Chain A
Amino acid sequence: MALFLLRRLGAMVATLVAISLIAFAVIELPPGDFATAYVAAMQANGVVMTEEEIAGLRAAYGLDGGLLERYAAWIWAILSRGDFGQSFEWRQPVSDLIWGRVGMSMVVELTALVVMWCVALPIGVYSAVRRYTVGDYAATLFGFLGLAVPNFLLALGLMYLSFRLTGSALSGLNDDRFIDAPWDAARIADFLAHLWAPVLVLATAGMAHLIRVLRANLLDELNKPYVVAARARGLPEGRLIWKYPVRVALNPLVSSIGLLLPTLISSSVVVGVVMSLPTAGPLLLRALMSQDTYLAGAFILLMGTLAILGTVISDLLLALVDPRVRHR
């Protein structure tokens, strides 16, 4: 086990280096850089910048160094000081910008994840055990609807309904009066009052998927001899189902939880924009659109890191829940 961990960690570092290189390359791919974009934006507003001003801008942001030089400076700052560079657009250090957003994303997505599992698990089990009953058909219908309806549409529908019924548009995660307010009881209460809508939207699609997968996995297990054998030992049906086939059917799902880590940031981009959530998704989108090099790079690097961490966590979880993996 220790050797396994060590090997995994070694591979993780190597992959991280590769990802950082790719992240940087992707940032550098589009023609031009922030300075040209900035100058163009200023010109559009009627401000003409002199050559010296532009050169000063380039020097200030280190845009004239070689490719490797810029990469080395970028990565060194991150590793040594946790400094992801400066966001050109927001005129703020990237690290100040992202952590709050990423934290907010985590809260929203993790809550959605918990809700999703708590609802999907019993429904999935029910629909497999009572296959071809009314309840199963209802769950299946819900499953297909949840899979087919795009998240943003659900968000829009929910916002429309809420606006028609209560006059509030269900946007954001806090009322405007709480912007920049400290996290006291009142703000937390308000936060929780806002949280349900995005959580509902995000949980629904994942839930539908989870129900389908769980049902299929469980149907495979339900007629296995070890289930009949457990029944032959006189176990009550409910206890038997949860202890044996559900436990086995969950293995592949449990191990996929780790893979959800990177989607904690990226999956809610559209919903985040539609519902104007102060989460990481919309910020990432904006950074990509405005060629905000360091901000976008930080996000890509972060998501790559989370993806790798997620894989390692998945492997560990699988080893934890499945003795066949653990004892090999």
Chain B
Amino acid sequence: MMSEHTGRDPVPQPLLRVEGLRVAFGPYEAVRGVDFSIAPGRVLCLVGESGCGKSVTARAVMRLVEPAGRVTAGRILWHGGESAEAMDLAALDSRGRDMRALRGPGMAMIFQEPMSALSPVHTIGEQLTEPMRLHLGLSRKAAEERAVDLLARVGIPNPRARLSAYAFQLSGGMRQRAMIAIALACSPKLLIADEPTTALDVTTQAQVLDLLAELVRELGMAMLFITHDLGVVAQLGDEVAVMYLGRIVERAPVFDLFDRPHHPYTQALLRSVPSLRGPRPRRLAAIEGLVPSLAALPPGCVFHPRCERAAAGLCDRDDPAETATADGLRTVRCHRVEAFAS
């Protein structure tokens, strides 16, 4: 069905493979069976509306949803360790030594709001040197030297002076750069970025995205990038996974997905992005209806009440399984995919 070449090298061994991940908060399942994998040096973008479970998925990978939430099923296979065998993070104690040892040198996270994700009463230097002293066993002096280099690397002017600055003394863009430096402190193999540019103004957004793209290229780390901004996906991603109500409905290499979206939800999402080229539509396309509540999920395919191609007797009855294209590059979760994707 799909024949075009993605223009990429063959996908290397994954660094992280998530299988059937489920996360529940009390009686509500925010993530309802998610599969994806990320290879070293690659960027996977997780897109979707607010509340679709993309942030929860990202946090679950680092086992940061506990104790409010709980990973109820699935495996989080980490291939970044010394041994050839993968480590299942879902089976680890979320507060235990093994999981803690991974946070920092294995994977690190950049948060949405740098202001609230940085301590209001500790200096940037303190928060930046902390993981290095903890995981790499550096002395305060050595850690500070490395911290200065890192701050310079992420484009913070006068880095040595910034070590003693507090979060509220920096501008939004500088704060997010400092946050990126903290995430990079122990040279993680996987960087998880949870909407890192949402709180920034447009120019700063572009700068921070450029910086992230540069860092991924330069350091060869993998990145899981959470966003609701399809423009960002096009700029940064190698692969995209589109989430809807706790599930990945479509996953594909970035340009394939933009060129030929298969899932009706993906198609609708792409239509709702205003375009600067072509004739100007009278109204911006929107997806009809509201996202159902997690407490009252519709039967069958959860998207069917809003789907223009939903077939009665099928979509409102059976939950569609995930199907992969012949080359295995794309997966779609839709009954009707054969009917319209061509």
- List residues of A whose CB falls within 8 A of some B CB: 223-226, 228-237, 243-244, 247-248, 251, 321-324, 327
Contact = CB atoms under 8 A, between A and B. Distances in A.
A327 B117 contact: no
A229 B134 contact: no
A327 B166 contact: yes
Contacts of A225: 111-113, 116-117
Contacts of B87: none
B130 A235 contact: yes
B116 to A, nearest CB: 4
Nearest to B109: A232
A167 to B, nearest CB: 52
A158 to B, nearest CB: 40
Interface of B: 59, 62, 64, 68, 95, 100-105, 108-109, 111-113, 116-123, 127, 130-131, 134-135, 166, 168-169, 179, 182, 185
A327 B168 CA distance: 9
Of all A-B residue pairs in the complex, the 6 with the closest CB atoms, nearest first, are A234-B103, A234-B104, A225-B117, A229-B117, A225-B116, A233-B131
22 contacts: A223-B68, A225-B113, A226-B117, A229-B109, A229-B111, A229-B117, A232-B62, A232-B64, A234-B100, A234-B131, A235-B130, A236-B100, A248-B121, A321-B121, A322-B120, A322-B121, A323-B120, A323-B121, A323-B123, A323-B166, A324-B121, A327-B168
Contacts of B113: 225
Contacts of B59: 228
Contact of A235 (B100, B120, B122, B185): B100
Nearest to A248: B121
Interface of A is mostly: helix
Contact of A226 (B64, B100, B118): B118
Contacts of B120: 226, 248, 322-324
Contacts of B111: 225, 228-229
A230 B169 CA distance: 20
A231 B64 contact: yes
Nearest to B103: A234
Contacts of A234: 100-105, 131, 134-135
Contacts of B118: 226, 229
Contacts of B101: 234
A251 B122 CA distance: 13
B109 A327 contact: no
A232 B121 CA distance: 18
Contacts of B182: 229, 233
Tell which of A226, A231, A251, A322 has the most Cβ of chain B within 10 Å: A226
Contacts of B131: 233-234
B244 to A, nearest CB: 25
A235 B64 contact: no
Nearest to B192: A232
A232 B108 contact: yes
Given A226-B117, A226-B119, A232 B166 contact: no
Contacts of B117: 225-226, 228-229
A286 B193 CA distance: 68
Contacts of B166: 323-324, 327
Contact of B104 (A224, A233, A251, A322): A233
A232 B103 contact: yes
Tell which of A233, A243, A247, A251 has the most Cβ of chain B within 10 Å: A233
A223 B59 CA distance: 14
Contact of B121 (A228, A231, A237, A251): A251
B196 to A, nearest CB: 12
A308 to B, nearest CB: 27
A225 B109 CA distance: 12
